[in-house]
Structure 1
Amino acid sequence: MNVRFMHSLYLAALLGFTNSCISDDLSDCPSPQYIVQISVKDKNYKNIGDFPQLKSKEESAPFQRFEGTIYYTLSESTTRARVKESSVMTVYGEDQTYPIILTDIPEGEYILTVWGNMTSEYPAGILHQDTKEHTDIYMTTRTLRLDRSYQTTELSLERTKGLFLLLCSNFPATVTSVGQSINHLYQSVDANFNYTGNTNVEKRVPLQPTISTWLAPTSEGPSKVKLIFYTDHAGGTVPFPELPEMDLTMKRNEISAIAIDYKETDGVCEVWMFVQEQWVMIHRLDIQ
């Protein structure tokens, strides 16, 4: 009997709550939560299958394998006034999507823009600044109608940059580092994938068989690439060998590649570029 009585009380309370929330006065109703699930579209580069030196990522891998951070803004669709802005949040967990939960938002139409792999160092949309490589930036945006008819929506992040792959083989042990200088690259991108600005990237790293660099698409084609190899003599300031400047076209979510094969016994240095799905020798330099 007590069980029936308690059940009746529960139903009465639930009915009263429902009636209050469907009446004209919504002041007693809880604020709705709008959930947006963020996924990753560009998990691997479009042409990664052409490069056995790189390992493809599993399509079913957790979200945090692709995006180390998440940052988002919510703006009114008409005035573009910003309603909500997150911090740059570190991503954890093993889920394949990342939930953004919006609360205390008046009903209306909004633009949600989400950035992946951002840092707090630079504003959203900056791809290169201070001639630095920066990170593998992702972005997505969508206009959402937030009201009581809203259902969970999924947005997919897309990569904003390409990858420059430098392959180095048969260099003597005295060559310890390589400097890269690439110009005519876009500096920033907006929420509609409109690229603007013109900048260059400078990078010097220890010599390795495979060196990867995240670069924005070419702005005023082609980009010019200058590679300088340094020996360990004189504090690593002696260039060896000297290579001519090369043309390179960077594209979003694609790999562009150059291979340098130093053949000391033959007295030549071969420079190859991956063009139209095949390797083409563009220079054969006498190094004797």
Structure 2
Amino acid sequence: MNVRLVHNFCMVVLLILISSCIREDLSDCPPSQYEVKVSVKDKNYANSNSFPQLSPVDENAPFSSFEGTVYYILSDAATGNKVKESSLSAVGGADQTYTISFNDVPDGDYTLTVWGNMTAEYPAGVLHQDGKEHTDIYMATRMLKLGRDYKTVEVPLERMKGKFLLLCNNFPSTVNRVEQTVSHVYQSVDANKNYSGSTEVDKSMTFQPVLQTFLAPTSQEGVSKLKLSFYSDAATTPFLDLPEMDLFVKRNEISAFSVDYKSGDGVLEISSFINGEWTVLHRLGIE
């Protein structure tokens, strides 16, 4: 067969194959692959510098230092219909971002919602359920326009809770347990960062000078209520039962109380960190 004829034949076949992938119907073309880089925006709390009792976290630490799991939903932007949903994936490695890839999604406009630190027990958006603290939940939502001009984007996760810090000073060595209840905190948050529901969180802790709890922001009632009881050994009656106090919890901020048992002075002093400074709320007599 003439070499020129073979060459021309191959060129015709190649042109036919190329044209099949640029015609209006793209069903015969290999799917495009799109990538999203998920990062962490809120690492240290916004006011963490006010609390020397807590060591700052390394802002350059790996993604896995902040997020133990990742879960995402990709939805059609126009209809809200779910297009892709991931499994709950454990995170590891030393990278500072987590890569999500789509390789079988038609071109179009989508909404991507990513959750960090979810667990299998509760659905996405649940901050507290069954009176439990749960985890340090993160979330981000981003609009994506998938198509030929798409470029990899970064989606920074934001913390959905605050932290309650309880500082305990000068307590007798016999005190070994703290029972804590915080009421009127939000129960859930949606993909648009709208909080809803109101619940209380109960926590039993081994006594330590520094105690920490992940809490959703104060709910629509406008003020959370804090109840603290301190126990010695296996006693069922509290060694110290404090009056209910107001607590204000904000997203990505630390709220703090200090309880100082000054037995030498016969005084129990309770302070709250308000507007950037410690304010004494109660001075109670003790025997």
**TM > 0.5 fold call:** yes
User: Counterparts of 1:175-186 in structure 2 under 5 Å?
Assistant: 175-186=175-186
How far is the alpha carbon of 1:130 from its aligned partner? 0.4
Match of 2:242 in 1: 243
Q: 2:7 matched to which residue of 1?
A: none
CA distance in 2, matches of 1:39, 1:21: 35
Name the residue aligned to 1:124.
124
The offset of 1:29, in angstroms, is 2.7
Once the two structures are TM-superposed, the CA of residue 41 in structure 1 deviates from its matched residue by 0.6
CA deviation string 1:113-143 (max 9, x = no partner): 0000001110100000001000000000011
* 1:42 is the counterpart of 2:32: no
1:88 matched residue in structure 2: 88
Partner of 1:226: 227
Matched with 2:192 is 192
- Residue of structure 1 equivalent to 2:213: 213
Residue equivalent to 1:100: 100
CA separation in 2, counterparts of 1:261 and 1:15? 82
CA contact (8 A) 1:241 1:287 kept: no
1-structure distance, mates of 2:183, 2:14: 65
Deviation at 1:268, TM superposition (A): 1.4
Identity of aligned residues (%): 60
1:206 & 1:108 partners in 2: Cα distance? 53
**Alpha-carbon distance between aligned partners in 2 of 1:14 and 1:267, rounded to the nearest angstrom:** 92
Q: CA deviation at 1:22?
A: 3.5
Separation (CA, whole Å) in 2 of partners of 1:243 and 1:65: 36
Decide whether aligned partners of structure 1 residues 268 and 32 sit closer, same or farther in structure 2, where only a CA change above 3 A counts.
same
Which residues of structure 2 form unaligned runs of 5+? 1-11
2:5 matched residue in structure 1? none
Please name the residue that 1:278 is paired with.
Answer: 277
SS at match of 1:52: coil
Residue 273 of structure 1 deviates from its aligned partner by 0.7
Distance 1:227 1:15, change over 3 A: farther
Specify the SS of the correspondent of 2:73. Answer: strand
User: In 2 relative to 1, CA 32–263 (structure 1 residues): closer, same or farther, beyond 3 Å?
Assistant: same
Q: CA deviation at 1:245?
A: 0.9
**SS of equivalent residue, structure 1 residue 22:** coil
Stretches of structure 1 that go unaligned for 5 or more consecutive residues are 1-11
Q: Tell me if structure 2 keeps the 8 A contact 1:113–1:191.
A: yes
Distance in structure 2 (CA, Å) of the matches to 1:183 and 1:285: 23
What is the alpha-carbon distance in structure 2 between the residues aligned to residue 263 and residue 17 of structure 1?
84
Q: Is the 8 A contact 1:74 1:82 kept in 2?
A: yes
> Aligned-pair distance for 1:25?
5.5
Which residue in the other structure is 1:253 paired with?
252
Q: 1:161 to 1:20 in 2, by over 3 A?
A: same
Partner Cα separation in structure 2 for residue 286 and residue 152 of structure 1? 62
With over 3 angstroms needed to count, the CA separation of the structure-2 counterparts of 1:13 and 1:209, relative to structure 1, is: farther
Q: Residues 27-38 of structure 1: matches in 2 within 5 Å?
A: 27-38=27-38
Q: CA distance change for structure 1 residues 157 and 13 in 2, over 3 Å: closer, same or farther? A: farther
Please tell me the residue identity of whatever aligns with 1:149.
D
CA distance in 2, matches of 1:15, 1:264: 90
CA offset at residue 20 of structure 1?
Answer: 5.2
Moved over 3 A (4+): 12-28
Distance 1:213 1:231 in 2: 21
Q: How many residues align?
A: 276
How far the C-alpha of 1:236 sits from its partner, in A, is 3.2
SS at match of 2:101: strand
Q: Which residue is 2:8 aligned to?
A: none
User: 1:52 matched to which residue of 2?
Assistant: 52
User: 1:67 corresponds to which residue?
Assistant: 67
In 2, Cα distance between equivalents of 1:245 and 1:77: 46
Deviation at 1:14, TM superposition (A): 9.3
Residue 18 of structure 1 deviates from its aligned partner by 5.7
- One-letter amino acid of the structure 2 residue matched with residue 255 of structure 1: I
Counterpart Cα distance in 1 of 2:246 and 2:78: 43
TM-score relative to the length of structure 1: 0.91
Alignment of 1:153-164 (within 5 A): 153-164=153-164
* 1:4 matched residue in structure 2: none
Equivalent residue, structure 1, for 2:4: none
Partner in structure 1 of residue 3 of structure 2: none
The aligned amino acid for 1:264 is S
- Cα distance in 1 for partners of 2:14, 2:214 equals 55
Show the counterpart of 2:201.
201
